[in-house]
Structure 1
């Protein structure tokens, strides 16, 4: 990946690098958050099952006309240009039509991350992403943390951080606040952790 060695990592260089990784069919997902290049491993089977479970809940519980999109790239951060590829994005059905790989977050209702068992999960999912999503103004950030067996619901972005963070252990019910408006029973998550 000499493109990084030869040039400063800008938005354009990042997007070229991300396209190269896709063409190489490598098992990587690239992000550019807080001015840093990040690499995410391809999710495991339990990770995928959690997204399917959450998709079913969102489709059954919420109003018609919205969808939980898997791995949709969105532009994040108001102060620096950046790109994130959340594990899932809840938005109205036609939100990303015609936008390409890195879409505007303007109509996004919620982003979802499910922790992976890799070494930079703490920095990426628990520190950098909440800040980037709050700066972007995304109303709800749902973190399903398989390491701690907890669900964290971040809401009330003030342009810098989320003002409310509710943490519950797997097995409890938690409210995903408006504009999501879903009661989430986390009992099934106990089956999908190592």
Structure 2
């Protein structure tokens, strides 16, 4: 993961987000890489390991089983965490398809994270800490109802944790952690169970 910090004077406090968003829109990122905005930095995230993609694919397949017609699952969709002016590109985002359909086709703007019903992050060695801390707090602050963290590098062993009931203070009231090998139930509107024993480690 590489990062470039905005130097003092390049953007005033009131306009730094517009400046960073313009850079993000115009950035020519190598194929498979993702650009995120985090704490005045543009962060380039390299392509993940095959197991990372395999887990995301299995989660997506399970989510589609009972997904209502008005929702869709998006891969590598930029989401803006407005309370913190951060921009992340999660592995999976579930949100109403009408919001995507209504987006301006001429402008590559991120979607509002507050509109997501579920955000899924699968950790990589280089970003596991950010997924557990920064992104956890950011998604809670944005009011994302469900955050699914699939952490192959947890010190307790590989874990999948569903966080629900976000607080404005950047925490979730409820967490449901399960080790790989145990099922994890996802509530409505998904109404499905993740079979974590299918996840590659």
Which interval holds the TM-score relative to the shorter structure?
0.7 to 0.9
2:87 is equivalent to residue 83 of structure 1: yes
Segments of 5+ residues of structure 1 without an aligned counterpart are none
What is the DSSP-based 3-state SS (H/G/I as helix, E as strand, rest coil) of the residue aligned with 1:47? Answer: helix
Q: Given the alignment, which residue of 146, 149, 174 partners 1:143?
A: 149
What is the DSSP-based 3-state SS (H/G/I as helix, E as strand, rest coil) of the residue aligned with 1:61? Answer: coil
Q: Given the alignment, which residue of 153, 163, 173 partners 2:162?
A: 153
Cα deviations across residues 120-168 of structure 1 (Å, max 9, x unaligned)?
A: 421x100000100000000000011111311011110022211111111
Q: Displacement, 1:34?
A: 4.9
2:115 is equivalent to residue 107 of structure 1: yes
Kept in 2: contact 1:150–1:168 (CA 8 A): yes
What is the DSSP-based 3-state SS (H/G/I as helix, E as strand, rest coil) of the residue aligned with 2:136? Answer: helix
Query: What is the TM-score when the length of structure 1 is the normalising length?
Result: 0.84
Give the direction of change, closer, same or farther, for the CA distance of 1:133–1:24 in structure 2 (3 Å limit). closer
Alignment correspondent of 2:43: 38
Q: Displacement, 1:94?
A: 2.4
Measure, in 2, the Cα distance between the counterparts of 1:144 and 1:49: 12
Q: Given the alignment, which residue of 29, 46, 58 partners 1:53?
A: 58
What is the DSSP-based 3-state SS (H/G/I as helix, E as strand, rest coil) of the residue aligned with 2:168? Answer: coil
Kept in 2: contact 1:174–1:184 (CA 8 A): yes
Measure, in 2, the Cα distance between the counterparts of 1:20 and 1:63: 34
Segments of 5+ residues of structure 2 without an aligned counterpart are none
Q: Displacement, 1:57?
A: 0.8
Q: Displacement, 1:75?
A: 1.0
Alignment correspondent of 2:181: 171
2:149 is equivalent to residue 134 of structure 1: no
Alignment correspondent of 1:93: 97
Give the direction of change, closer, same or farther, for the CA distance of 1:28–1:12 in structure 2 (3 Å limit). farther
Q: Displacement, 1:26?
A: 6.2
Measure, in 1, the Cα distance between the counterparts of 2:121 and 2:18: 25
Query: What is the TM-score when the length of structure 2 is the normalising length?
Result: 0.81
2:191 is equivalent to residue 181 of structure 1: yes
What is the DSSP-based 3-state SS (H/G/I as helix, E as strand, rest coil) of the residue aligned with 2:98? Answer: coil
Structural RMSD (CA): 2.4
Measure, in 1, the Cα distance between the counterparts of 2:36 and 2:4: 17
